[in-house]
Amino acid sequence: METVKKEKKDRVLSIRNLNISFKTAYGVVKAIRGVRLDLFKGETIAIVGESGSGKSVTVKTILGILDSNGIIDDGSIIFNYTDENGEKQSVDLVQMSQKEIRYQFCGKRIAMVFQDPMTSLDPTMTVGKQIMQPMIYHLNLSKKEAKLKAIELLDEVGIDQPEKRFKQYPHELSGGMRQRVVIAIALSCNPEILICDEPTTALDVTIQAKILELIKSIQKKNNISVIYITHDLGVVAKVADYVAVMYAGRIIEKGNINEIFYDPRHPYTWGLLSSMPDTDTKSRRLFTIPGSPPNLLEKIKGDAFAVRNPYALNIDFKEEPPMYDVGGQHRVASWLCDPRAPKAEIPVDLKERIEKMKKEATVYE
């Protein structure tokens, strides 16, 4: 574990007070409500949380691919990068049009890997051509240069016989190989930020492990910052330095990976961690969070999680909690962290599980 913190880390991305809504036939959906998040150079952050909590919308905004009915109501996304002349630049992505973002950054300085490699690859084009394209477009490489680089990339992402694979079509490759091709495309223009939305959900764990390790090693080599979105907490544990937990459009808890996994504070995070099947779950039933997420078409009063929260206080139904600093990098949006709040104990089963995890961890420390 890295305990010595570097003096001053370079901030690559800083999201402040982001608010996004969608116009729909049923009314306005308030999908993102005041998100604040930083991404530092070389760092990996994971965004976790319930379906529909706003994880994908957040990263789509960064990529300039927000759906056309989406509106950024407020906030800023400052992106700091070094331009072709080696000069430091800083732009607010919110002030740019989605088209400009895509033209200037997407696929070049900010690249992405999505869940289903089949939807991000063109079935009618050889994989080689698909890797060459962004390099010709963004880096002005000649065809010949692009081809050489493409074969190099295929090799780098661990595809054997790259010259042969270069000429193949996506359907001729296995799922794991296709995802490697998508990663090769994402890396082709030496991005500063790599965004992976459920990159390995459709793959088996052996291929998942290989792909995660591949991303890690390339990240280290090129000092890239990575944002992962995943439901798999095992994957989060493996890759993330920092974790943001989202619920109903807000980040409700964030902190470094150990703070979130060994010392969770928000009752939603407790529920999330408790729902994982433990390797020796004895009971016949798994823990689930009661109730269902709020309807984002309606105005949320107080804490969005209150109605499902057995620890809810009166104030939870009236006022939205602020973000409390609970030490270290750890921030929690829950009234339970207010000094005036009665002490709420973490659920016994989860506490035991965490104790066990910590004990296992001592062997590796």
Ligand X SMILES: Nc1ncnc2c1ncn2[C@@H]1O[C@H](COP(=O)(O)OP(=O)(O)OP(=O)(O)O)[C@@H](O)[C@H]1O
Q: Tally the C-alpha atoms within 13 A of residue 331's C-alpha that lie toward its C-beta.
A: 17
Residue from the set 71, 125, 148, 361 that interacts with other proteins by CB under 8 A: 361
Q: Tell me phi and psi for residue 244, to 5 degrees.
A: -115, 130
Least CB distance to ligand X at residue 30 (A): 9
| Nearest residue to 335 via CA among 307, 300, 306 | 306
Q: Which residues pair with 218 in a beta bridge?
A: none
Q: Contact at 8 Å (CB) between 309 and 266?
A: no
Count of residues interacting with Mg ion (CB under 5 A): 1
174 binds other proteins (CB under 8 A): yes
203 binds other proteins (CB under 8 A): yes
Alpha helices in 7-116 (DSSP H): 55-63, 98-104
> CB under 6 A: which stretch of 24-32, 267-275, 318-326, 330-338 binds ligand X?
24-32
Burial class (CB in 10 A: 0-12, 13-18, 19+), 179: buried
Q: Which residues pair with 27 in a beta bridge?
A: 24
**Residues with Cβ < 8 Å from 86, sequence gap 6 or more?**
none
Please name the residue that has the structure tokens 């504070």.
265
Least CB distance to other proteins at residue 190 (A): 26
Site for ligand X in 294-333 (CB under 6 A): 296
34 binds ligand X (CB under 6 A): no
Please name the residue that has the structure tokens 């408790």.
274
182 binds ligand X (CB under 6 A): no
- 57/260 with CB nearer ligand X: 57
Least CB distance to ligand X at residue 348 (A): 29
Number of helices (H), then strands (E), belonging to the chain: the values are: 12, 12
Site for other proteins in 36-65 (CB under 8 A): 49-52
- 31/141 with CB nearer ligand X: 31
Binding mask 52-71 for Mg ion (x = CB under 5 A): ----x---------------
Site for Mg ion in 293-312 (CB under 5 A): none
22 binds, among other proteins, ligand X, Mg ion, none (CB under 5 to 8 A by kind): ligand X
According to DSSP, the β-strands at 242-247 and 225-229 are unpaired
Please name the residue that has the structure tokens 């090693």.
217
Q: Where on the chain is the footprint of ligand X (CB under 6 A)?
A: 22, 24, 29, 31, 51-57, 67, 69-70, 175, 204, 296
Binding residues for other proteins, rule: CB under 8 A, are 1, 49-52, 174-176, 201-210, 231-238, 240, 257-258, 261-262, 271-273, 275-277, 279, 281, 284-289, 292-293, 357, 360-361, 363-365
